[in-house]
Amino acid sequence: MDKPKSKGQPIGWSVDEFFKTQKDERAKAPLLHALKQPVPELRLAAAEALGRVINEDDVKKALKEVLNDEDERVQKTAKEALERISELEQLEKDDAAEAKRKGQELKS
């Protein structure tokens, strides 16, 4: 997404830019807070950003809560975010199992 030149920046752009620069605990709290705001576009952008990287129980819980959001776009984005998190968890498990298997092969 191109960087807007006016003050009329889309909400999703500003949330996304914040997230890119704050990929740690400082990003999580404002994004979780954004999921509870009355502006659907803000909730949508927050759900998308949370599903990209942050894989923690409180994030998954918050995303599950917005699966019943009044805005269908927010519901869909929360579902996609949870699916991304699930895929990341599976990849981490697969990597750990592969590393364990290789470690056992080296000991043999």
Please tell me the predicted confidence (pLDDT) of residue 50.
86
Structural domains in the chain plus CATH codes: 11-107 (1.25.40.290)
Please tell me the predicted confidence (pLDDT) of residue 5.
39
Please tell me the predicted confidence (pLDDT) of residue 20.
54
Tens of pLDDT along the chain (108 residues) come to 444 333 454 555 555 555 555 555 677 888 899 999 999 999 999 998 888 766 688 889 999 999 999 999 999 999 999 998 888 888 888 888 888 888 877 776
Please tell me the predicted confidence (pLDDT) of residue 55.
65
- The pTM for the full model equals 0.65
HEC string of the chain equals CCCCCCCCCCHHHHHHHHHHHCCCHHHHHHHHHHCCCCCHHHHHHHHHHHHHCCCCHHHHHHHHHHHHCCCHHHHHHHHHHHHHHHHHHHHHHHHHHHHHHHHHHHHC
